[in-house]
Structure formats: C-alpha cells, structure tokens
Structure 1
Amino acid sequence: MRTALAMLGVAVSAAMLLDMVMLSSGMQVSFRALLTRQGFEVRLTPKGTLPFDTEARIARAASAESVLLAMPAVQAVSPVLGTTLHVVGDDGSAAAVFTLGIRPAIQGDYELLRGLDADAADRMVVNATFLARTGVAVGDTIVVAAGYDAQLRSWTARRRVLVSGEGRFHYLATGQAAAALPLSTVQFMVADAGTAPSDEVSLLMVKTQPGVDAEALRAGIERELPRVTAIATADAVKSVEQRLSYFRQLALILGTVSLAIGFLLVSTLMTVSVQERVGEMAVMRALGVSRPHIAQQVMLEGLVLSVVGAVGGLGLGLVTATYLNNILRAFPGLPAAIDFFVFEPRAAYQSLGMLVVTAVLAGAFPAWRAGSLPIATTLRSEAVS
C-alpha cells in the first residue's frame, strides 16, 4: 500500500512536470506555427500599427502589391481587409459580424471545414459562432449590409450572399463571430458605404521564396514602402516571448517544486525500506554479498519505482494539459488557434530524463546507508530487538 501511494505521488509529480515543460514552450511553438501558416513570413500594416489594432488602412493597396511582387524574394502577396458588416434580418434587425475581405486562392486567415470556399463574389465563409448566434445554416442566403444612415434609417450598401461554407478562423478571438468574403466584394461594399476608398486594405501578408532572409526582406520592404510597417515573424515571436516570460517563470518554479516532491517521496520511501530491512541486508553481507551489490539493489528499486510512476504520470499529464488548455483558450481576446500546452516528444523525454536523474539522486543516500551497514553490530541489534 505504501509503495502504491508513493508511485501515485511520483505519477502526480511527473504529470505536473510534463505540464510545466509543455507550458514553458507551448505558446511560443503555437504562436510561431500560427504566424507561419501558408508560409507568410512578413506582414505589412499601416505605419506604426499592429494588424487590426486600429481602423487605419494601407492606401493604394494595388500599387503596394505591385511593388512587393516585383521583389525577387517575394513569392506571393495576400491582401486582407477587415471591417464590420451587418447581417440584416427579414424584420429589419441587424447583427454585427467582423468580416475579412480575402483572396481565397492565397490566404492564411482561416481553414475551410465544410462546404465551399468564398471563391465567388456572392459566397461567404463563416465560423461556428456566427452560425450559432444568427441561426443561419450553411447553404442559406442572407443579406449583409454596411453604412447605416440614421436619418434615412437605411443601409447605403446591401448585398445578398450565400453562406457557402464553415471555417475555422485562426487569428480571431474565441467566441467572436466572423465571416469572410472575396476582397473585391468587401472593398466595393465599404466604398459604397462611403467609409473608405475601394483601394485600401488592412493588412498585406507576404509569402517569401524558399531560403530568403525574412529580416533582410522586411528592411527592404520598409525602404520601398515607407508608409507601412513590415513585421517579420521572428520579431513578432520575440515580442510574444517577452510578454509571456511570466508563464515560463511560473513553469520553472512549479517544475522545480514537482521535482523536489518526487525526490522527497522516493528518498523517504527508500530510507524507510532500508530501515525495515537492515537485518536482511546484514545477513546478505555476512553471506558474502558485496556492499556495491546491495547499494545497487536499493538504487534499482528506487529507479523502478520512479520510472513506473513517471510513465503513468506522462499519461495523466497529457489529460491534465488538455483540460487546462481548454480553460485557458477561453480567455477573451486570445486567438482561437492559440494553444498553451503543446505536446512534443522532446518534452516527454526531457521530463522522463529529469525524473530518472532525480530518482538516482534520491536513492543515493539510502543506497549508501544500506551498503555501509556494519555486519556484526547490525546482527547483534537485530537479535536483541
């Protein structure tokens, strides 16, 4: 019973350690994967802003796109226009939805889950939140509008579109209703609403040629297009790492605590075990068993205890990480595709390796004590007791 409880304690310690190792690098790995989807290494925003951080837009987008495509290091450009449209019901009600104007052939903003892509002027891809809030189903035709005139109580731009597919939008917050239409459709609607010229975008995503230095390309873009800010993926990841340093510090502290708990559990159990078997070990020594052999036996017992507990703990850690990840992903303002805990085989090997080293250290003192017991004195005290 005591051994089973100790193994359970080691398993909990291993699970906690694995979770902390996954947390320490999970968001960095997840954020990097998010930014490099479809190979977009550089993003262009209006000068001094972040993507969709303000209402500012890049003017003369077609000209900027031509400049980019003329660069040998650029493989493709994906323009994106973000705005708010309204879904107008038959009763005149209107539900706001954040809408992206994209080019379906080359975009990295969403992943199509079912249905047809927005590859025609009257086709719209929406997310699950949009479907749940509006009661619309894939295949329905709806009316979207922009530019509400309060005096006339009418919309200056209306369009009937087909909800052709459902997608998972990577960069938008969890729980945010979202839709995507062809870029030209959104630009025309925004222009008709009188809110912006039709040749504006919120963001330009640049796909680089293989082997291109993204930082050098970023600097070159800012020289050619001084009215934009070019953000390389490496810079964005570095900025996120600085902001997430708290999570790494927390993971380091809790990981150290879990190792300390595992050390104390194994060390205590093996010390008590040696204390209860001193007579047996003294008899073995009297029969000619060497000190190193006895010490090795104790070390192996502690190692087996730790490894068995750790293997069970790895499975427990994965279950716990999945549960915690779902809770943390529900925080408002976070992209829906961000994961806090990302499993990598390296993390499992690293956790198991640290636990094995801890087990060896924890069994060192009990093993030394078992191997250094004086034969005569120990047998005499055992006989008297």
Structure 2
Amino acid sequence: MTALRPERESGAEWYGTGAYDASQEPYASAPYDPRASAAQYASPGRTPGYQPPGYASPGPFPGYDSPGAPAGPPAPAPADDETMALRLPEPPSDVPSAAVATPAAPGGRAARRKAAKGRHGRHGGAAAGTPRGREEDARSSRPLSRVEARRQARARKPGPGVLISRIVGEVFITTGVVMLLFVTYQLWWTNVRAHAEAGNEAHQLQNDWASGKRSPGVFEPGQGFAILHIPTLDVVVPIAEGTSKSKVLDKGMVGHYGRGDLNTAMPDARTGNFGLAGHRNTHGEPFRYINRLKPGDPIVVETQDTYFVYKMTSTLPVTSPANTSVLDPVPKGSGFTGPGRYITLTTCTPEFTSKYRLIVWGRMVEERPRSKGKPDALVS
C-alpha cells in the first residue's frame, strides 16, 4: 500500500515521527472493500475524527478532524493501480464492437442514424478497422475450402425462373432482330435491287433498238419490249410481257396483261385497252404514287419505233382484285362509251397491302414515230 492511506496509531507517536507501519493495523492484510461499512475498519483508540480510507479531511492532517471542525466532502479517489475497482473495464479484444454500448448521438433521429452508419458501415456491416471488420477482411482474404467454393458456386448458379426468363428474353430479342432485318429487306433492299435490274433492262432495250436487234411482234413472257414514262411522277420503267411476280414485277418492271393474263391489246393496236400492272410498294414500287395523277397528265409508252402518248382521264380508287372488267376493251367505270385506244394502270391498295386494287385510265392522244424525235411530254 502507498503512503496515501490516511491511518495512524496515536496522536503523539504519529505526529512526532511521521512513520507509519501498515502491518500494525488490524485490517492491513485485507484488501479494501468500498462496499463495507466504516465500522469494519474501526480500531480502539481512534480519535473521534477518524474516517475510513478513501475520505479526506479539511484539516491540516490527512484522516484527522479537529474537534469542532466541520467534516468536508469526501475527496476523489486517486487514479492509480490501487483504485482500479473504480474504473470502467476495457472491452475485451475478442468482443465485437457492436456489443460495446455506444452513447446515443445527440441531434435527433437523423444524427443517430448517421452515427450508426459510421459504426456499422453503410449497409449494416462491420466498419473498417473494427475487430469485426478485421475478422471479415481476414476471412475474405483466406483461400476457400472445397466445400465453401461449392456452396458459393451453387449460390451463384441461376435458378430455373431466371433461366426461363433469359431464354424468353433472348427469343424476343432474336425475333425482333429478324423482323427488323425483314422489314429492312422489304422496304429498302428490294427497291435497291429492283431499280438496278429495271435500269439495266431499260438500258439493254435502248441498245438493242439502236442496233436493230429487236423488232415489233409477239414477245415471250418476261421479255421487255417497251419503256413507260410518267413525267409527273418521274417514273421511267421497262415494260415486260406478262405479270409474273418472279419474272417481271419483282424485278422492278411493269407487266403487260398479255396472253394468258386477260390478253389486253398492244399499244399499236387500232382499238383496244393496253393494260399494265406494277408494284405499289417494294420491288421498285413504280406505281406507288399513281393515285396523285390528275386528268390531263401525260403517260408515254416508248417502243422501238414509236412514242404513244396518253392523257390521264379518270381513276377508280378502290375495287376488288376480281374485277377484271376494268381491263375490257371499253373498261367499265372508266367513263369511256365506245371503242378507242386506251391505257389502264393497276396496282394494289391501300399501301403495303394487296386487299384491293387501284385503277387509273388514260386515252391515247398522240402516236409519234421515233424518227421525229421525242414528244413534247418528254421534252418539257
């Protein structure tokens, strides 16, 4: 024990020498218990002012109160190893930081929530630098055992619902891509290819006419024999015999209703109806805008020897595909009342469908030999 213990034997000996032997005290061998009463440490011969250890007197001598002097408040215990029972124990190193009581953060719920995040991390995990955080870091850095690796692999493996949703999503994506490619092919690539084929056929026709390789007469199905001009719509397209989709129409050309196709007249016939068919959409779409033609607009058919000039007279916006009377020598619904030299243009309607047919009629107004040059409809 240190010399801070305020005990003495008697007044004279204690004052005179200042020496003190703790072994002479009857309680010297027992450790101090703050819960014990003061009577436990009482000794015969004590002066009236004696107090148990841990208390201080306002007098000049520790542990002694002069008669009549008021007792002062107890002095605080010295902070040394002898008074460790008065201190809070340090938390053991193996106890998680979450088990240590933390005073509530002032400032309301928001401040307490912020303090909790600082202690336990953003999502409730152990904060970095705490024993728990160091333990988690060590656990994550060590190599996994075979069992743990299998467990993690099974946890990462998607379930049946996830696999089914992925398959369905991939099917939809693939279907969408295929449909997009099909639409691109139909609306763009078929036109590019048909324009190239039609332009090549028209160029070949003009070269053959210039060299005299072809002569008017009966033509084979799919064989080009004339060129159609619609100046108002900026259309220049070859005319081939027949209305076959694969041999004529899908190649960007206009087909003549010839033998086997209602057998309409040729342009050089003295009377009759020259019937033509063409795509309104895709594959060159030469007749896409024939609905914009107005009465009086020129329609010119160029052959090896002659230009045949027609003037648009009337139109039939919608009719059934089975209505073949529109191709009669005197077509019904056209307004023509007697035989003449007519032209009929047919195509599908509405656009991008083939449910109905759109009909445009014209009457021949001029027959001009090629030797006299182009007609005014093509020059202007």
TM-score (norm 2): 0.21
Structure with greater strand share of residues: 1
Max radius of gyration: which structure? 2
Structure with greater helix share of residues: 1
More contact order relative to length (CA 8 Å, sep ≥ 6): 1
TM-score (norm 1): 0.21
